[in-house]
Amino acid sequence: MSVTVETPLQAGPLLKEKKQELIDIKNIQEHARTVQPFKASKHQPLISGSVSKEAAIATHAALHIDLTPEKEKKIREMYDRLDADNDGSIDIRDLTQALSSQTPHIPATMAPKLLAKMKREDSDRVTYADFTNYVIAHEARLAEVFDQIDSNRDGEVDVSEIKSYCKEMGVNLDDHKALSIVKKMDQSGSSSVNLNEFQDFMLLYPSTDMREMVDFWRHNLIIDIGEDGQVPEDFTPQELQSGVWWRHLVAGGVAGAMSRTCTAPFDRIKVYLQVNSTKTNKLGVVSCVHLLHAEGGLKSFWRGNGINVIKIAPESAMKFMSYDQIKRWIQEYKGGAELTTYERLFAGSSAGAISQTAIYPMEVMKTRLALRRTGQLDRGMIHFAHKMYDKEGIRCFYKGYLPNLLGIIPYAGIDLTVYETLKSCYTQYYTEHTEPGVLALLACGTCSSTCGQLASYPLALVRTRLQARAISPKNSSQPDTMIGQFKHILQNEGFTGLYRGITPNFMKVIPAVSISYVVYEKVRKQLGATMS
């Protein structure tokens, strides 16, 4: 066997002719030492010296004599797909782009770790030889993992074996979640996964550590952004013991504080319009901005934001603890089985109701502070709350509590249903993708959140009017009950009156989601918390 390498004649700079040099495969190691490596810069010629790209790849392929032609072709095709700019080598930009567009089930954030696994220590890019070595070694390790999962040794991994394997790693999955994992790996529609399918699916995941792989399946193949606002994150016993849980809660708290602060002007405009805009006193966003600025200046747009940020910590902590306890009760009732999606929705909504009950006085304070006039907080927040108590009694801190409580369930249920529907439509339309990318997931989350808000907004409007009734002269004659408020609004303002102030509410959705996502990811990484 021999390979052909093109070399120029050593006759002068203008001579263009080339000759063919045949190399005996027995002496391939000797010739390989004369092949110069790819240059470091992406803006310089790929090959230095006398070896073309094709000849270099042929030489590297010949070093792996045990590769079949089919295997060699498969590796070459994969290498060409990852080499996005087609310069003969793979760098961090190539990998990031390829993971985003071709393998959305592997997060693009894995690109640096994957590059480190593939490349040599003295290089910042991956050659064809490096990639071939990685594929051969990684597939061998994946075969060992597959053998451990395949408990009955039939060459196929099914739902029960995935569940059993994950349980050994400390992660309990129900049938629905285990089936979701199998479906994403299964290429033949057999409801099971063979070795080749398993290797193809996990080839670009840069680890074969069993615990890391199970965490990857759990966190990346069963993602549900649509539930983030209502259902707290599930943490395994290992994550609870290691302290990962509090890092995620801190990251979520910081993200929430930044998001709420940046979008506080939208929130104050919304509250003002909910209370003061009527059929006879029509106010728009622009006119409201002029009124608020004239009354209190630029700082007035952040009134009520302080207590809105302060309540994040107790609300998140109480929701997390309640959710964990309710999950345990449901699992005990079911005999230890994992919760389904809708059981998690019930547990999350119940935890939300408990946390809202505990911090609801702060919600009323936020509304009152957002509607206050300049000079009404000169003696501090505690004095402001004391004045409310002296004038209206303890019941004033729970005005609008019932519509607030009722609004949790339709928001969470519709949010989740729409989110899952959009995800399903995306994967059906873009059949080459098994899972939407990050931007698509954010779009699904934004749309589902918007639909949830449309369904629950009338309840939020009634809640706000009940909270502000005592300090709003225009509303003092209005009913003091939820049903009475609904009747009053429909009779005097019509159906559209139930959606007063919804424009600024929609305006803040996209910036709020984007800021929250970016800050959460940054803080999570700084705290050293793995993706959850």
Binding residues: 83, 85, 87, 89, 94, 150, 152, 154, 156, 161
Say how many C-beta atoms besides its own lie within 10 A of residue 174's C-beta: 17
Say if CB 422 and CB 451 are below 8 A apart.
no
**Strands (E) located in 392-503:** none
Separation between Cα atoms, residue 97 and residue 115, nearest integer Å: 13
Report the chain's C-alpha Rg in angstroms: 30
Say if CB 95 and CB 114 are below 8 A apart.
yes
Q: Which long-range contacts (CB under 8 A, 24 or more apart) does 162-166 make?
A: 162/217, 165/214, 166/214, 166/217, 166/218
H and E: helices and strands count for the chain:
23, 4
Say if CB 128 and CB 80 are below 8 A apart.
no
Of the CA atoms within 13 Å of residue 67, those in its CB half-sphere come to 20
Buried b (16+ CB within 10 A) or exposed e, 358-378: bbbbbbbbbbbbbbbeeeeee
Instruction: Give the contacts of 148 (CB within 8 A, at least 6 positions apart).
Output: 165, 210
22 by DSSP, 3-state: which?
strand
Instruction: Name the burial class of residue 43, with classes exposed (0-12), middle (13-18) and buried (19+) by CB atoms within 10 angstroms of its CB.
Output: exposed
193 by DSSP, 3-state: which?
strand
Instruction: Give the contacts of 27 (CB within 8 A, at least 6 positions apart).
Output: none
Q: At what angle do helices 401-429 and 341-371 cross, to 10 degrees?
A: 130
User: Left if phi > 0, otherwise alpha if psi is -120 to 50, otherwise beta: which for 243?
Assistant: left
Say if CB 456 and CB 462 are below 8 A apart.
no
Which residues does the annotation place in the binding site for Ca(2+)?
Answer: 83, 85, 87, 89, 94, 150, 152, 154, 156, 161
HEC letters along 386-405: HHHHHHHCHHHHHCCHHHHH
